Amino acid sequence: MIIRKAEIECVAALKSQYPTTGYPEVAFAGRSNVGKSSLINTLVNRKSLARTSSKPGKTRTINFYNINDNLYLVDLPGYGYAKVSKEEKKKWGSMIEGYLNSRDELKLVILLVDIRHEPTQDDKLMLEWMRQTGKKVVVVATKSDKLSNNQIAKQVPVIKKALKLTQDETFILFSSETRRGKEELWEVIKSTCGI
């Protein structure tokens, strides 16, 4: 994928702030620290387009990155902070669900999980929300450089089983360090978004 343009175009807290161009959208979600910013930066060959997720207590937003004026990579707020109040969790939930359920432009939803860990209850809930959209779902296992091939071979079925991955759902091994999985992910994005 040749990246001519990669810019943050929109930081939205409200639906009324989402972009109106109609470009197809690919949304990324995952626990905080899973490597979401690194993955987005790796995809678009930039060092710091996406920033590490904000700290608990700060307002979370949905960030839209304009890629080549024909696609948005959509960065959903990270989850899984231990110290987040119930009220904040609720706000976060309605923001993400609101986006996922109402967005025609959304073509592909991507759940990031750390290859080293079993998916959490939050990951499973997120995946359920993603499935309910009826859009194509991809699960990306991040930080694959941190495990040996043997360890990866053991961990992949554990993750797939915990998430009850189906035939229609694509699973990709990824590393921002080695760029493993980058082209594979772009192929899925391009074919799903028709770009």
Residues that bind ligand GDP (CB under 6 A): 30, 32-38, 52-53, 78, 142-143, 145-146, 175-177
CB of 176 vs ligand GDP, minimal distance in Å: 4
The residue (of 133 and 175) whose beta carbon lies closer to ligand GDP is 175
Q: Is 159 helix (H, G, I), strand (E, B) or coil?
A: helix
Is the C-alpha dihedral spanning 18, 41, 124, 134 positive or negative?
Answer: positive
Q: At what angle do helices 121-132 and 86-102 cross, to 10 degrees?
A: 30
Beta-bridge partners for 113:
141
CB of 75 vs ligand GDP, minimal distance in Å: 8
Strands 170-173 and 136-142: parallel
The residue (of 97 and 145) whose beta carbon lies closer to ligand GDP is 145
Strands of the chain (E only): list them.
6-12, 25-30, 62-67, 71-75, 106-114, 136-142, 170-173
CB of 36 vs ligand GDP, minimal distance in Å: 3
CB of 135 vs ligand GDP, minimal distance in Å: 21
The residue (of 142 and 170) whose beta carbon lies closer to ligand GDP is 142
The residue (of 142 and 155) whose beta carbon lies closer to ligand GDP is 142
